Amino acid sequence: MDTTDPLNFTQKQSFAVFLDELVKKRVPEGHLLSVFVLGEDFKTNAEPLVELCNPGSGENKSAMTSNVERVRKTYEEKFIKPLMRQGEALQGTQPAKASPILEMLQLVAINGFRKHDVKGERRLFLMSDMLHNGSAFSMYRATPNFEDFSGTDYGRKTQADLKDVKVELHYLLNAPQLQTRRSLLFWENYFIKSGARLVDVRPLEG
């Protein structure tokens, strides 16, 4: 979740619905959900804000062989509530001076997927305007051709390993004049080179 720009009113409503759907419907039983924050300083956000495995709600279990009520309570208290409580922490309050998206994607690859040696489905949900902004490279100045960028020292340094990851981008349209087809093509090629695939792009209302 990109917190480098505050969400406007409509974006907050859309984010609340997205978080509810993600936690309650998109994480299968037995799957791990790691939530990372993209802030101004990527070093302070290297580890997940919260990381939990879905224990299952008990809805598909038989009362003859399981304590369904205990399973449901564990699901609510140990999985749903801790994640939903992070809603406010996942929203920025002040515009940041930097948005280190490239560095943060590397950390997600390392501490999200590689650290746990994930063998099953790998899926990355991104909520961001995808406008990387730093002293070495800023998409507020210009968005280069990805092939040219990837050959630079900074491009090589910030390339992540996201092999077999399916990426869903929930696009915060904070600066539509900069978020052009060229910008999106940059990220499509970035993910291809990382071994991932951008499977869905959904502009967030607002």
Q: What is the pLDDT of residues 85-142, one digit of tens each?
A: 988 889 888 999 999 999 999 999 999 999 999 888 999 999 999 999 999 999 999 9
Distance CA 2, CA 4 (A): 6
Token representation of residue 35: 């939530």
Q: What is the pLDDT of residues 129-181, one digit of tens each?
A: 999 999 999 999 999 999 999 999 999 999 999 999 999 999 999 999 999 99
Distance CA 53, CA 103 (A): 25
Whether 64 shows a pLDDT value over 60: the answer reads no
Whether 63 shows a pLDDT value over 60: the answer reads no
Whether 38 shows a pLDDT value over 60: the answer reads yes
pLDDT given at position 65:
46
Q: CB neighbours (10 Å) of residue 59?
A: 10
User: 69: pLDDT confidence band, cut at 50, 70 and 90?
Assistant: confident
Q: Which residue has the higher pLDDT, 184 or 86?
A: 184
pLDDT given at position 67:
67
The backbone torsions φ and ψ at residue 26, rounded to the nearest 5 degrees and listed phi first, read -100, -10
Distance CA 206, CA 204 (A): 6
pLDDT given at position 57:
83
What are the extents of the domains in the chain?
9-204
Strands 122-128 and 32-35: unpaired
pLDDT given at position 72:
86
User: 62: pLDDT confidence band, cut at 50, 70 and 90?
Assistant: very low
Picking from 48, 6, 54, the residue whose alpha carbon sits closest to that of residue 30 is: 54
pLDDT given at position 58:
62
